[in-house]
Structure formats: C-alpha cells, structure tokens
C-alpha cells in the first residue's frame, strides 16, 4: 500500500496529516519542535528561500519579499485580484493571464509559492516516516473554481507530489467527524480562521457529499478580533501613559515595531480569554510597564459586531440552499477563531444545535484530508465501514462450511444472490446461519445471526431451490433473505455486521485467515468430498430400491460392492480415497442410471397424457 498524505493548504497556516495504522485515527505530523501548524508564508531572501516560522520573522523587515495569503491569488487573473492588492504589501506584476508576484527582482507564480509550503510539508512527512512520499490529497475551499483547483494541483506537482484528489475543506471537516456515516442529512460547516470566513451547507446522502451552498467573507476573521482589541489597548495605553509615549516619540499604531508588539500581545490575550474568564496583560515599554486586567466580557463586547457579521452569510447560505436553520442536522466548527466562546454561542443559537467541536478546529480539515487519503490508499478503518465490508459475509452450508456471498473489501452498498438446496429428503425446514470472517469453517467465523426458513413442501433432497440474498445498505446494515422458489416461502433477518467489532479484532481475523489458510483448505476439501459421497450414496440407495428390477444380477452385485467400499471410505480421513471410491460407484451405476432415466421419461410422458385427458374431460 503506497502512502498518501492529507494536506490542508491554508491561507494562514498549512498542515499535513496521516491515518495512524495502529489506532486507525488521523493525526497531524508536527515539525521537529512539536508545532503542527506551518505558517503559509514564504520569504525570498538573498540567502535563499525561507518558509513557515522563519519566513514569518522576515515579515516586518522584508514586507515586499515575504509572501503570505498567496491562496487568495491561486488560479486567478490580474483583473480578479485587483481588489486584493490593497491588502498585500508585495507587488503584483500587471500582466495578462495568471497573476505573478514580484520579489527580489524576479517573478513567481502563486503555485510556485504554494509549492514551497507543500514541499516543506512533504519533507516533514518524509522525516516522520523515513521514506519518500509522492502522493497527497489536498483540500481547497468549496467555492474554488476549476482554475483555482488546477493551480492547487500544479503547486503539488511542482513540489513533487502527485495530487490524487482535491477535496473540499468542509467535506474534509465532515469526514474527520465521521459524518459520511449519516444516511441522509444536512451539515453546516462554519469556518472562521485568521483572515477568512466560510460557511458551507452540505447534503450527505449514503456517504456522498454534495455542496448545496457556500457563502462567507474573504476578509473577516481572527485578525480582525486582534485589530479591535489592539486599537482598544492602544487607546487605553495612550490615555494612561500619553506623557511617556510623547517623550519617547512612540506612535503605538503607526510605528511598525510597536504595532506588531501590541498586535501579538492582543492576540495572546484573546487566545487566553477563550479558556479563562479574565487575564492580565503586561507590556513592557522603555520607560514604563503597562498592566491591564481584562475580563472576557470586555473582549466579547469588542468583537460582538464582528461575530454578528458572520451570521448574515450563514442566513444567505441557508436561503440559497432552500433550507431553514432547523433543517440543519449537524454543525461543524473549523478554524482557530471558533475557539472563541462567543462565536460558539452565536453559531449554536443560529442553528439551534450544539456544534461539533471535539477535534482541534485548526487541524480538523487536515485530519479529514488524511481520512480521504487513507480511503484512496485502500486502508480499512473503523471510520470507513460504510465504504467497504471489512470481512467476508456468507452462510453455513452442509458440513459446517462457509459459503461466501460477499467477499471482504467489497464496496457498499452491495448485494449478492446464490442458489442453495436441501440435503435430506422431505426436508421442510432449513436452518440459515449468517457468518462473518475469513475462515473456511463456520465454527471459526463470527456468528451474526440464525434464522429458519420453514414451510417448504416435502421434496426429495436437492429439489428445492432456495435463493439466498444478502443486501448491505450504505449504513453497513445487512439484510439476509431466503426464499424457496417452488413454494414461494420466504424468511428474512436484518443484522449489523460491523456492530461490536473493533479494528484490532478485524485485523486479527484477517491475519488468522492467512495463518490457517492451508489447514482450512484441506478441511474444506475433505468435507466437500464427504458431502459428495453422501449425496451419491443416497441416490444409489434410492436407485437400488426403485430400479432393482431394471438391473442385471451382476450389475446389482457390483453396485452393492462399490457402495460398501464408499461407505467405508466415507468414514475415513483420506479425501483422495473418498473421491476415488465415489467416482468408482458413479461408474458402476452409469448403466442403471441410464435405463432408470428412460423409464422415468416414459413415466412422465404417460402421466402427462393422463393429465391432459383429465383436463379435456
């Protein structure tokens, strides 16, 4: 199985994740210092190209050579991004066609910049696994058009990655929460990051996601929270320390270094206030130290208008999807800013449900990308029971053998049908035993259900035609139906094949099947030889009873001798001897069988004629 990584290529931060085979859970891969987030920032310096944290440190010193938010430019033309230019300190070359960024006397395209971020994540994964990684799933916003998606693919190719799938970010987030398991439902994904806000309404149907509507604000996020808090702090510092500031000639807002320091302090305070009710802010200046106690209420009052601004797009998306808020079944939170308690409260009020927030909102998209990557790589996980049957499903047949109807790893929903018959003359009841596992014998497999098909008309063994149908729906629910076609008698049972099975159990069962495979096959062949011998013995005994007068004495004696030999061999363990003696008995009865067949045909025609006479009267 070749490894495929999942990548969240974000506007502000990017992450790489994979599915841990031991736990079957997706995990992000941290860098050497334990940091999961890689800032999506690339700095072009005379010494070389820097990425992530190292590039971020260049932001203040080299604003024109440090490229960030490049996702906003991916797959766009110059005319498309004119509105963005005022937000970006670096220069965009005015040109036809694709946007180019001017840095350090050269021009680079957005996919090239993104490729630097992707290559850093690829190398991080390669260090983690100690092997080369060549394939990735990359997420994009649901509203990305074809050229933006293509640009993302190109970035992957430049970084030496084959992008096996582009996945919508809200779909990935829903996958991380296992919402693909919903049979039918509507999911709202509320994504509030550092600089962007996206709301997506998705419909899930039998594990397939469909985007119903998207909306948002491309310039609204946690950075705005930082800004309002920073301006408020600047005003407060100014009012308390205006004399010291004036003497030092510091302008808190216009002075780049001071503003940057204040912004970082504001962001840190904001983050702390997501978990604690109040915090103390301390900022040392040259001549004084600023202290301030900030209760959560203060920041909530400041950011309330910004949080309220996200609700308009939510309502619009609902309207576009033709749904009311009460029709949303699940709400998923994505993006670092959804840690803010006020944001959670407002989202919960709007949709009337508690949003999913158990997973880290910064990581949830990357985790979902990893889940998708794992599906594509062919891994089986607990989360994917919907997509494939983890173990084979079948029924027990004569001699305790399993007859498989649906092999493991079959994509579901699926169905299979097979014909069976009875083994005893006059049998009116058939025991149906539904099994799951990779072993040949019923006793070594997991028993899922037993039920009875009764009311079959008494017929000779082998005459009834019992049609067994297995149907697995998209929820992994198995329905087994048995129907005797001559009488129309039917019975059915519904079982949950995956219920209670942990991945380790599944794994052990799969491994066992390899360990025991050879011994199992031998046992199976022996039982099959015995079953065949039993069928032939029964037929010959019946033939001798009904057609003895059609055989010569010598013929009868030869048949009886062969029959005795087979009865003896049948009791032994050598399947080759059983098969040989069965063949010998078949040969000894060939002639008798022929003449009996002729007699039977004549009988059939005669009785038919009698029937016709009856009907015409």
User: Using the rule CB under 6 A, is 340 a contact of ligand AMP?
Assistant: yes
Stretch of 264-272, 314-322, 407-415, 423-431 lying at the interface with ligand AMP (CB under 6 A) = 264-272
Which of residues 116 and 334 has its CB atom nearest to ligand AMP in the complex? Answer: 334
Q: Which residue among 110, 111, 170, 193 contacts ligand AMP (CB under 6 A)?
A: 193
Tell whether residue 433 is a contact of ligand AMP (CB under 6 A): no
Least CB distance from residue 394 to ligand AMP, whole Å?
Answer: 47
Q: Which is nearer to ligand AMP, 335 or 394 (CB)?
A: 335
13 is an interface residue for ligand AMP by CB under 6 A:
yes
- Chain positions 297 to 336 lying near ligand AMP, rule: CB under 6 A, are 335-336
User: Rule CB under 6 A: is residue 339 a binding residue for ligand AMP?
Assistant: yes
Q: Which is nearer to ligand AMP, 306 or 434 (CB)?
A: 306
Q: CB 300 → ligand AMP: shortest distance, Å? A: 12
The alpha helices in 109-212, defined as continuous H runs, are: 110-129, 146-158, 169-176
Compare residues 194 and 390 and give the one whose CB is closer to ligand AMP.
Answer: 194
134-142, 265-273, 550-558, 596-604 -> range binding ligand AMP (CB under 6 A): 265-273
| Tokens matching residue 554 | 């010598």
Residue 223 lies near ligand AMP (rule: CB under 6 A): yes
Give the 3-state secondary structure of 255-285.
CHHHHHHHHHHHHHHHHHCCCCCEEEEEEEC
**Residues 150, 274, 403, 409: which binds ligand AMP (CB under 6 A)?**
274
DSSP H or E segment with residue 563: helix 553-571
Give the catalytic positions in this structure: 8, 71, 169, 191
Tell me: does residue 71 bind ligand AMP (CB under 6 A): no
One-character DSSP codes across 301-363: HHHHHHHHHHHHHHHHHHHHHT--GGG--EEEEESGGGGSHHHHHHHHHHHTSPPB-SS-TTT
Q: Is 267 in the site for ligand AMP (CB under 6 A)?
A: yes
* Four-CA torsion 141, 147, 150, 155, nearest 10 degrees: -80
Tell me if 575 contacts ligand AMP by CB under 6 A: no
Provide, rounded to whole angstroms, the least separation between the CB of residue 41 and ligand AMP.
Answer: 12
Is 346 an interacting residue with respect to ligand AMP (CB under 6 A)?
A: no
Quickly count: other Cβ atoms within 10 Å of residue 370's Cβ: 31
Alpha carbons 614 and 603: distance in angstroms, whole number: 16
Q: Is 222 near ligand AMP (CB under 6 A)?
A: yes
Distances (CA, A) of 438 to 72, 303, 398, 477, 567: 51, 58, 18, 19, 32
Query: What are the start-end ranges of the E strands in 193-250?
Result: 197-205, 208-217
CA dihedral sign, ordered 146, 151, 155, 157: positive
Tell me the CA distances in angstroms from 133 to 18, 124, 163, one per residue in order. 12, 10, 11
Q: 12 or 200, CB closer to ligand AMP?
A: 12
Q: How far is the CB of 37 from ligand AMP (least distance, A)?
A: 6
First to last CA, the chain: 74
For residue 368, state whether it binds ligand AMP (rule: CB under 6 A): no
Is residue 31 within the footprint of ligand AMP (CB under 6 A)? no
359, 308, 328, 275: which is closest to 197 by C-alpha? Answer: 308
Are residues 356 and 348 in contact, defined by beta-carbon separation less than 8 angstroms? no
Residues that bind ligand AMP (CB under 6 A): 10, 12-13, 193-194, 221-223, 267, 270-271, 274, 335-337, 339-340, 362
């Amino acid at each position: 199985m070749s490894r495929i990584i999942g990548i969240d290529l974000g506007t502000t931060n990017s992450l790489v994740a994979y599915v841990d085979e031991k736990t079957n859970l997706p995990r992000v891969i941290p860098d050497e210092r334990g940091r999961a987030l890689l800032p999506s920032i690339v700095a072009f310096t005379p010494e070389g190209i820097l990425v992530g944290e190292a590039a971020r440190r260049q932001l203040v010193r080299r604003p024109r050579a440090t490229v960030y938010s490049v996702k906003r430019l991916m797959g766009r033309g110059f005319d498309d991004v004119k509105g963005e230019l005022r937000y970006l300190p670096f220069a965009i070359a005015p040109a036809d066609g694709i946007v180019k960024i001017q840095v350090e006397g050269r021009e680079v395209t957005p996919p090239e910049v993104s490729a630097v971020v992707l290559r850093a994540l690829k190398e991080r994964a390669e260090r983690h696994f100690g092997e080369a990684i060549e394939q990735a799933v990359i997420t994009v916003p649901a509203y990305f058009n074809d050229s933006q998606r293509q640009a993302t693919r190109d970035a992957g190719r430049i970084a030496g990655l084959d992008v096996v799938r582009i996945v919508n970010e809200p779909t990935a987030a829903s996958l991380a929460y296992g919402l693909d398991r919903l049979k039918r439902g509507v999911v709202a994904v509320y994504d509030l990051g550092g600089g962007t806000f996206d709301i997506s309404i998705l419909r899930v149907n039998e594990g397939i996601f469909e985007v119903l509507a998207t909306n948002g604000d491309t310039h609204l996020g946690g950075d705005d929270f930082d800004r309002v808090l920073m301006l408020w702090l600047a005003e407060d510092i100014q009012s308390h320390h205006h004399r010291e500031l004036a003497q030092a000639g510091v302008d808190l807002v216009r002075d780049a270094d001071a503003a940057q320091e204040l912004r970082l302090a504001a962001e840190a305070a904001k983050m702390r206030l997501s978990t604690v009710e109040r915090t103390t802010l301390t900022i040392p200046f040259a001549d004084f130290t600023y202290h301030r106690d900030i209760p959560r209420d203060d920041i909530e009052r400041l950011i309330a208008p910004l949080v309220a601004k996200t609700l308009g797009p939510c309502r619009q998306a609902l309207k576009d999807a033709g749904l009311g808020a009460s029709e949303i079944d699940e709400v998923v939170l994505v993006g670092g800013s959804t840690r803010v308690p006020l944001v959670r409260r407002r989202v919960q009020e709007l949709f009337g449900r508690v949003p999913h927030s158990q997973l880290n909102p910064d990581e949830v998209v990357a985790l979902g990308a990893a889940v998708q990557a794992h599906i594509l790589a062919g891994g089986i996980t607990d989360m994917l029971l919907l997509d494939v049957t983890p173990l084979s499903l079948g029924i027990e047949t004569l001699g305790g053998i399993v007859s498989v109807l649906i092999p493991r790893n079959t994509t579901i929903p699926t169905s299979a049908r097979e014909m069976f018959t009875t083994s005893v003359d006059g049998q009116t009841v058939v025991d149906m035993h539904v099994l799951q596992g990779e072993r040949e014998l019923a006793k070594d497999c997991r028993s899922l259900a037993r039920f009875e098909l009764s009311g079959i008309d008494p017929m000779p063994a082998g005459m009834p035609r019992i049609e067994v149908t297995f149907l697995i729906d998209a929820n992994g629910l198995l329905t087994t139906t048995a129907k005797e076609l001559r009488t129309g008698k039917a019975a059915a049972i519904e079982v949950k094949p995956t219920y209670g099975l942990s991945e380790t159990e599944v794994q052990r069962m799969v491994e066992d099947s390899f360990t025991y495979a050879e011994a199992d096959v031998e046992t199976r062949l022996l039982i099959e030889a015995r079953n065949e011998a039993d069928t032939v013995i029964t037929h010959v005994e019946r033939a001798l009873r009904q057609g003895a007068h059609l055989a010569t004495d010598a013929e009868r004696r030869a048949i009886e001798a062969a029959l005795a030999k087979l009865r003896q061999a049948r009791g032994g363990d050598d399947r080759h001897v059983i098969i040989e003696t069965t063949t010998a008995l078949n040969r000894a009865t060939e002639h008798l069988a022929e003449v009996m067949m002729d007699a039977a045909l004549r009988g059939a025609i005669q009785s038919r004629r009698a029937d016709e006479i009856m009907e015409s009267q």
